[in-house]
Amino acid sequence: MRLPFAASLVLIATAAHAEEKSSKSNGLSFESFGYLRAGVGWGDDGGRQTCFQLPGARAKYRLGNECEIYGELGGRLTFGEDGDGLKTTLTLRGSVLGTPINDYDDFDFFGEEAWIGVSRLSEEGPWSGAEVWAGHRFYKRQDIHINDFYYWDATGMGLGVTGVDLGFAKGSLAYFFESAGNIGDALDGSPYMRLDARLEEISLAEKTDMTLGLDLRFPDESGLANDGGGMATMQVNHETRRGETLMAALQYGWGAGRDLSFASDPGARDGDRSVRAVGSYLWNAWDSYAVMATGIAEWQSDDRNWYSLGARQIWRLGQSKTYFALETGLDHVVPRTGDGRTLAKVTAALEWREGPKFFDRPSYRAYATYAQWDDDAEAAGIAPGVSGTDGFNFGFQVEHFW
């Protein structure tokens, strides 16, 4: 196995973390940001680690179940004095992906973001907190961390305005002429244009707000199976008096938007429909315990249904910087034809990290993972290279974001 590349990524992350604070000079400032996960793992037969994801499920529970090295490094250059006149930002981000974790035959490099934004358009009024932007960007992505599921992601290449104060909400409008996860794929073109409109921070009660979104798809070429489509999303966030954070989202897609993603489906029919309900719970209870949990249900009229439940709990061991993490996850998929299939996964890990909160990083882990699935999941092609209906792996990983 080749460990020098993983070690170099750790060094890059450490160096970037050291420069985390912005440097400023004469109205010009720079800040870095990024993400890294890297490690080594083995299966119960002593060979390469195999990760477990149920065929038909959009995500897998990730603790001790990631078979790749992945890193992002980005920077944001800002022009403009604090609180005085226009502020212009240039944001760039790239990524590297190596898979599988013990082989490293190929490394792929991607340009992820390149966009410019202009804000402080006025000193007061609706436009005082707004920003006009253009380029390719990760646009208002919403995810569930424990299974790395981006349930609301409008990434693409386009232009728009965000944060317009409408009194009862903040308004955002974006037009995407290409929709893809990275710049290279966006430049290859996509068969749809998108219009994304949102009303954010609608206050429902104390510490409770709602966001409404509508993402419409318009064909940009002929010969497609549909006349377009779209997706609509309603999301509610609530924080309790104890500091618990709860999120619930309901999404509806039709036609080309039936995948409930920035990627439109040119093969979907106009009558195809999908509905998704997503919930998450996060509580940094005290200095010795934190938990995150999620539930997902997705129904598609012409394909499969997916149901998922999972949680990660973290306990501090004494007053040390050592923590014990336990993650459990259950996925069930009902295909359009045939019997349903199920996967259950559990991971135990020792973590070394600086702080007790759920998202405190960096985290250094030693883990062991066990997964079990039924015959229908095996027949659908789960975990290539693993025979039978269960599997085990163990290894070491570092995860960091800044």
Which one is predicted more confidently, 105 or 107?
A: 107
Least confident range from 10-14, 81-85, 174-178: namely 10-14
- pLDDT, position 6: 44
CA 78 from chain centre, in angstroms, equals 25
User: What value does the mean pLDDT take over residues 385-389?
Assistant: 82
What percent of the chain has a predicted confidence (pLDDT) above 90? 81
Q: What is the mean pLDDT of the chain?
A: 91
Strand partners, 369: 347, 393
Domain boundaries, the chain: 4-401
User: What value does the mean pLDDT take over residues 115-123?
Assistant: 94
**pLDDT tens-digit readout, 250-277:** 999 999 999 999 999 999 999 999 999 9
- Using CA atoms, how far apart are residues 280 and 188, in angstroms rounded to an integer? 35
Instruction: Assign 368 a pLDDT band (cuts: 50, 70, 90).
Output: very high
The set of long-range contacts for 237-242, using a CB threshold of 8 Å and a minimum separation of 24, is 237/208, 237/209, 237/210, 237/211, 238/207, 238/208, 239/207, 239/208, 240/207, 242/283, 242/285
Q: What is the pTM of this model?
A: 0.91
Residue 13 has pLDDT above 60, yes or no: no
**pLDDT tens-digit readout, 147-179:** 999 999 999 999 999 999 999 999 999 999 999
**pLDDT tens-digit readout, 207-246:** 999 999 999 999 998 889 999 999 999 999 999 999 999 9
- Using CA atoms, how far apart are residues 354 and 332, in angstroms rounded to an integer? 36
**Architecture of 4-401 per CATH?**
Beta Barrel (2.40)
What percent of the chain has a predicted confidence (pLDDT) above 70? 92
Instruction: Assign 22 a pLDDT band (cuts: 50, 70, 90).
Output: low
